[in-house]
Amino acid sequence: MERLLNMMKLYEIKCSQLIQFTYGEDGLVGENVEFQSIISLKLSNQLFECLCKFDLTQREKSIRKYITDGVIRDLYRNESLELLDEEWKQLNEDRSDLRQIFPTDDISKIVLPCSVEQVIRGVQKLTERLIIAKRDDRLSQIHRLTDVAFHWLCEEIEIRFQQAQVQAEEIVGALAAQSLDKPATQMTLNTFHYAGVSDKNVTLSVPRLKEIINVSIKPKTRSLTVYLTGQATNNAEKCKQVLCRLDHCTLRKETANTTLYYVPDPQDTVISEDQEWVSTYYEMPDQDMTNISQCFGDCLNVIFNDDNTEKLVLRIRTVDQTKSTTNNADSTR
């Protein structure tokens, strides 16, 4: 893990600026966060609208029992209605954003610095203890926050979030190394379980982890997981046929069509979409072609575009040795 610690330290670039990785990916310390659930994520759209949307048109009769006519007229103004519509729209947007941030089905494992539900229960218990005349009517049985309690709740959430933020220059590498301790241990245990199994004769556990950290160019016992589609997903015979086709795969089987182009200049092309990468390729040509020349000689000229390009192109030129290189060539694409 010492190498991982060194990788996660501060780096200074040529502009004299320091770059540091975010502590824990969210910038929050582990001792001030806790697992909790957000109720609005698991509610249906109908229930969420019933609990959170305040529709004046449907509650006109009920609110007249508690609010005077002057206040009701103020509520039915366009400004008040627009404010309620904006609040409902904002609630839906916040709910959609939370579902994108936490796409998991188990919403009880969301890590946040402040448990809003616990803070609300604390405020409600405080209001219960401060009751002067206890009553048993419906209005007293349902706990609701007053305006002062709501503002205190918002301030409490802000304070706890500020307290949960990590301090500057905190050691990031130690956290990254410790976070890999549990999965690395599990990888080692899985290696003992698969001891003696021929199908699992691949590099596992700490050696595989070291290959990942070192970004090894030539990993040992490489493997590839292939997901089948169509009838091969549920048919064993179809799976065997796919395996046989993969074992013996030739260029003829993978070629959809072929076309011949005559290009006199080896460093040019008549295909417009290839002109940019061909010219770029010859700006920095390969210097060591000894290994390829030993097998094919000088009769083939093969170049290719960048591996990260969306459309990969392999350009093969057959060179006639009886004539000059600049006067004759056929390229196959």
The predicted-structure confidence for 171-219, as pLDDT tens digits, reads as follows 666 666 666 766 777 777 766 666 666 666 667 677 777 787 777 778 7
Domain region containing 85: 39-103
Domain-terminating residue out of 80, 103, 126: 103
Residue 278 lies in a domain: yes
Q: Above 80 in pLDDT, residue 270?
A: yes
Question: What CA–CA distances, in Å, run from 54 to 74, 85, 302?
Answer: 15, 9, 70
Banded pLDDT at 127 (limits 50, 70, 90):
low
pLDDT tens column, 23-57: 666 777 777 788 877 777 778 888 888 888 877 77
Residues 45 and 99 in one domain: yes
pLDDT tens column, 129-173: 555 444 554 434 444 566 777 778 778 888 888 888 877 666 666
Residue 116 lies in a domain: no
Residue 119 lies in a domain: no
Residue 50 lies in a domain: yes
Q: Above 60 in pLDDT, residue 332?
A: no
Residue 231 lies in a domain: no
pLDDT-wise least confident of 3-7, 253-257, 314-318:
3-7
Q: How many domains does the chain have?
A: 3
Residue 169 lies in a domain: no
The answer to pTM > 0.85 is no
Residue 232's Cβ-side half-sphere holds a number of Cα atoms within 13 Å equal to 12
Domain-terminating residue out of 52, 71, 103: 103
Handedness of CA 268, 274, 276, 278 (dihedral sign): negative
Residue 195 lies in a domain: yes
Candidates 241, 193, 245, 201; CA nearest to 223 is: 201
Residues 210 and 264 in one domain: no
Residue 87 lies in a domain: yes
Question: What CA–CA distances, in Å, run from 273 to 267, 268, 308?
Answer: 15, 12, 16
Candidates 116, 107, 180; CA nearest to 149 is: 116
Domain-terminating residue out of 103, 118, 144: 103
